[in-house]
Structure 1
Amino acid sequence: MTYQEFEKNINLGSLKNRDLETYLLALLKLVEDEREQILTAELLLKPLQDAYTSKPKKFNVEWLKIKDEPDENTFMNSKTNSSTDKTGVADIGEFYYTIAVLKFQIAELHKMKGKQLDDEWKYYGIDSETGNRWYNFDPSSILDCGMRCFMDGNKNGDQEFKVSWRTLGDLLEMGRIYE
């Protein structure tokens, strides 16, 4: 699948009624269920699309302790990034990075409810109470902007879109901060 094909299929435009926190909770549950999969572009599309309607994971108040966005280098260079873990998952550091991104973003959104998220101008950018910058606050915009960032970095949209578990974490983080 090419970058352009992935971008075309990433979003189910008619299903924009789910708030981003609920979407990310559903995505977290789906990703955890797919842990043993070696990710392809086609397999990545499925949880991104299914998270619009699937049951979300229960929010964990422990996530409120998360203050900083995950540093991908910590996960990629850690001992958890052996080539496989005990379940046979390749690139386990990349998987845990994506899980950390999901928990970070869920916690941030939860903390901003009734505060920054009520700002009518939030799409011009707001800072969370932990000082992290946000520009996108719904599933459609975070996925669209994250993919635009990938596309801007790859001028040839006809090139194969090679993905790993890190791709999902990067997509969400770029979507959060990309205007």
Structure 2
Amino acid sequence: MTYKEFYNNINLRILKNRDLETYLLALLKLVEQEREQILTAELLLKLLHDSSTSESKKFNIEWLKIKDAPDENTFIDSKTNSSTDKTIISDISEFDYSMAVLKFQIAELHKMNGKQLDNESKYEGIDSETGNRWYNFDPGSILECGMRCFMDYNKDDDEEFEVSWRTLGDLLEMGRIYE
């Protein structure tokens, strides 16, 4: 599946039925259920779609302790294959990164509820109480901007969209900060 095909299949209209925190809680629950799977573009699309209607995970107050966006580099478990000298990146660590992004964003939205999220100009960009910048506050805009960032960076929308568990975390983080 190409970048353009993936983008065109997100179906942003169905995502407007939920607030972002509820959507991300549902996505977190679905992702946890798929943890043993290899993430493909098709599975990622299914997770993104199903999160608009599926049951949400219960919010964990421990997540309120999260202050910083996850750094993808701290989750990379790389090993060098001695026979090929190629770096192998563990998919488990990529999964952990995406889980950390989900929990971080859910916690941030929870903290901003009734405060910064009430700002009518929030789509021009706001800072959370922990100093993290946000530009998108609904499932459609965060996914659209995340994919636009992927596509703008890649420059060839017809190139194959290679997906791993890290892709989910990157998509959400890019969507949070991409204008």
Alignment TM-score, normalising by the size of structure 2: 0.92
SS of 1:13's equivalent in the other structure is helix
**Structure 1 residue 107: deviation in Å?**
0.1
Task: Determine the C-alpha separation between the residues in 2 that align with 1:134 and 1:12.
Answer: 19
Task: Determine the C-alpha separation between the residues in 2 that align with 1:164 and 1:17.
Answer: 27
Task: Determine the C-alpha separation between the residues in 2 that align with 1:35 and 1:23.
Answer: 18
SS of 1:16's equivalent in the other structure is helix
**Structure 1 residue 14: deviation in Å?**
3.6
Partner of 2:170: 170
- Whether the aligned pair in 2 keeps the contact of 1:11 and 1:144 (CA below 8 Å) is no
**Structure 1 residue 78: deviation in Å?**
7.5
Which consecutive unaligned segments of at least 5 residues does structure 1 have? 85-89
Question: Given residue 176 of structure 1, which amino acid in structure 2 is its aligned partner?
Answer: R
Question: Given residue 170 of structure 2, which amino acid in structure 1 is its aligned partner?
Answer: D
User: Residue 113 and residue 52 in structure 1: after superposition, are their counterparts in 2 closer, same or farther (change >3 A)?
Assistant: same
Aligned residues: 171
Question: Given residue 64 of structure 2, which amino acid in structure 1 is its aligned partner?
Answer: L
Partner of 1:17: 17
Task: Determine the C-alpha separation between the residues in 2 that align with 1:47 and 1:14.
Answer: 13
Partner of 1:115: 115
Percent identity reads: 80
Aligned-CA RMSD value: 1.5
Partner of 1:87: none
Residues 1-179 of structure 1 correspond to what in structure 2 (within 5 A)?
1-77=1-77, 91-179=91-179
**Structure 1 residue 15: deviation in Å?**
3.9
Higher share in strand: 2
SS of 2:175's equivalent in the other structure is helix
Question: Given residue 49 of structure 1, which amino acid in structure 2 is its aligned partner?
Answer: H
**Structure 1 residue 17: deviation in Å?**
2.0
1:124-171 Cα offsets, whole Å, 9 max, x none, are 000000000000000000000000000001111111100000000000
Task: Determine the C-alpha separation between the residues in 2 that align with 1:10 and 1:175.
Answer: 13
Task: Determine the C-alpha separation between the residues in 1 that align with 2:144 and 2:66.
Answer: 25
**Structure 1 residue 40: deviation in Å?**
0.9
Question: Given residue 57 of structure 2, which amino acid in structure 1 is its aligned partner?
Answer: K
- Whether the aligned pair in 1 keeps the contact of 2:15 and 2:49 (CA below 8 Å) is no
After TM superposition, which residue ranges in structure 1, 4 or more long, deviate above 4 angstroms? none
- Whether the aligned pair in 1 keeps the contact of 2:14 and 2:52 (CA below 8 Å) is no
1:67-118 Cα offsets, whole Å, 9 max, x none, are 0000111000489xxx79xxxxx61000000000000000000000000000
Alignment TM-score, normalising by the size of structure 1: 0.92
Which consecutive unaligned segments of at least 5 residues does structure 2 have? 80-87
SS of 2:159's equivalent in the other structure is coil
